[in-house]
Amino acid sequence: MPTHSLDPASADVYAAAYDELLRIARRERRKANASATVNTTALVHETWLKLRSHIETVDLDRTHFLAIAARAMRQVLIDHARRGIARKREHLSVTLDHADDGPDSTPAFDILELDAAMRRLEGLDARLARVVDLHVFSGMEFHEIATLEGIPERSLFRLWRNARVFLLAELSS
């Protein structure tokens, strides 16, 4: 974990965040089958660069950190996918489910197509898009998202179902 260019306070924040970012990055790389395209360490470092200024100025709890990290990780993966497509016509794919969600898992979708659908969803309902970001890109469990959003789990499941139906319809057309 390189911290040589960070001031001591930044290095402490980075060290505390590093393990969480690694966990998220490993999970995202597995889901995206991105072993050759995106290096885990590079993904963590690029995500940190996106997060650094915000994290150092705001006192975040774990759930808020994961929410922000999910968004930053998604942006980094999309940037990599765009560069990869431009260079090699290579595609990253991602599913809407956790890797261990079982036999009813959704198919893998191109991350750029998912991003376009996510932007359309965000335009219609930002809360639904946030639920998808938190669950799909940061790996948060539904009870954690419900706590973060301040809503009952049952309401969260309804939001998730609506977001998932919208995205599946958008991605299958």
pLDDT (0 to 100) of residue 11: 62
Right CATH for 96-172 from 2.60.120.10, 1.10.357.10, 3.30.930.10, 1.10.10.10? 1.10.10.10
> In this prediction, what percent of the chain has a pLDDT beyond 90?
25
- Which residue in this structure is represented by tokens 């960070």? 6
Identify whether the C-beta of residue 60 lies closer than 8 Å to the C-beta of residue 68. Answer: yes
DSSP category for residue 107: P
85, two tokens: 């497509």
pLDDT tens across 52-63, in order? Answer: 766 666 666 777
Long-range contacts made by residues 143-146, C-beta under 8 angstroms, separation at least 24?
144/63, 144/66
DSSP category for residue 9: H
pLDDT tens across 7-26, in order? Answer: 555 566 667 777 877 887 77
> In this prediction, what percent of the chain has a pLDDT beyond 70?
68
The helix (run of H) or strand (run of E) holding residue 110 is: strand 109-110
Helix (H) and strand (E) counts in the chain: 7, 2
Domain coordinates in residue numbering, the chain = 8-93, 96-172
Residue 34: count other Cβ atoms within 10 Å of its Cβ: 23
**Strand partners of residue 109:** 94
Identify whether the C-beta of residue 76 lies closer than 8 Å to the C-beta of residue 37. Answer: no
**Strand partners of residue 110:** 93
pLDDT tens across 100-135, in order? Answer: 444 455 677 778 888 899 999 999 999 999 999 888
46, two tokens: 């690029």
